[in-house]
Amino acid sequence: MKVSLDQSVPQIGAPEVWKAGYDGTGVKVAVLDTGVDTGHPDLAGKIADAQSFVPDETVQDGNGHGTHVADTIVGSGAASDGKYKGVAPGAQLLVGKVLDDTGSGQESWIISGMEWAANSGAKIVSMSLGGTASGPSDVMSQTVDELSAATGTLFAIAAGNTGPSGKTIGTPGIADSALTVGAVDKSDNLASFSSRGPRTGDYAVKPEITAPGVSITAARAAGTSMGTPVNDYYTTASGTSMATPHVAGAAALVAEAHPDWTGQQIKADLASTAKTMTDATPFEQGDGRVDAVRAVEQGVFATPTLSFGKFDDGDNDVVTKDITYTNTTDHAVELTVASSLTDLALGSGTVTVPANGTATVPVGVDPSGRPRAATPVTSPRPPTVSGSPRASASRRHRRRTT
């Protein structure tokens, strides 16, 4: 099954959001990649700032990957009479070149790019890159978490292209705060190459969301042959690299509609409103395929994933965690809460979320298998962010195209 921007953008509902008056105007989205073709017609007038973190290379894209990704987010479709328009064509683009013209880069370049983007006013940072994860956290993912907490920026990061095996999510997509993106085709079937969870080391749920990423036609950088060229201005490529900018663009639409929302609220909203597929597990699809219309309109969302990890033989203590429901509307909402998991106990069957407020529902898991009710918790516990020295590293990370 093949799909191009003229199909994948409607697939996630973006044109309906445009009709409602939101196209990403006023929102800055940073793309950390191989740079962009600054002369491409689709990106004319879109670039608010650009910087290269690759020694001896300018932001000009000599690979083609970054141009394709950027066009999927903000492209005007000028070179195709509007046919290949991006998800958020009104958004402003910040270009950080962190991968060289061969498509790879050092962690130090990428970390510098993340710091620059988050401190340059980017509400969304799109990263279609990554490397093999050796555990649940590392310097790259810790940097994502630290910057997310400090600046309120949302990092949308590709899950990777090493599916269909499990525990294949790459770094920095393993970061707790990242909105990690898998790929589907035009029929919303999970792409075989899309990396799956759980997260290596602690069995946390990843990815949180999916988006179209199979045979996506978008901008081609001049003089490059990445993907399968269609003409001088467009090329077709597949990967979670192609799915990630669809989510980043949808996040820009939400950010324009709800300018006071934090990055983590946008993440929770996008995941909570995604279209869940019955034939894919949470470790494959997270909450499902991004739905821009629901994400902009719904106004009520919940904790996107709740990970209890892995239990070993002999574990008998009940583990309780909270689902936090957020209501950004001006009226209270009563929700019915249910679970299809027999070994999971909910603290309540209903919850009333006050106007412009939050409410929590405790969720308990008993590894012994004995039925027990979850103990109500009166207030949510704030998240913690772990930090570590950022040692320079030479391990190289690559773009996420298959």
Q: Which sequence positions are flagged as catalytic?
A: 33, 65, 241
Backbone Cα Rg of the chain? 20
DSSP string, 62-82: SSSHHHHHHHHHH---GGGTT
Tell me how crowded residue 33 is: count the other CB atoms within 10 A of its CB: 30
Backbone φ, ψ for residue 150 (5° rounding):
-80, -30
**Residue 399 dihedral angles phi and psi, to the nearest 5°:** -65, 160
- Candidates 247, 246, 86; CA nearest to 154 is 247
Contacts of 97 (CB under 8 A, 6+ apart): 33, 34, 35, 50, 51, 52, 53, 54, 57, 58, 59, 61, 66, 113
Are the C-beta atoms of residues 24 and 259 closer than 8 Å to each other? no
CB atoms within 10 A of CB 63: 23
C-alpha separations of 85 from 127, 140, 268 in Å: 20, 32, 26
Burial class (CB in 10 A: 0-12, 13-18, 19+), 1: exposed
Q: Which residues pair with 235 in a beta bridge?
A: 218, 229
User: For tokens 């689902």, what's the residue?
Assistant: 323
Cα gap 169→200, rounded to integer Å? 8
Burial class (CB in 10 A: 0-12, 13-18, 19+), 184: buried
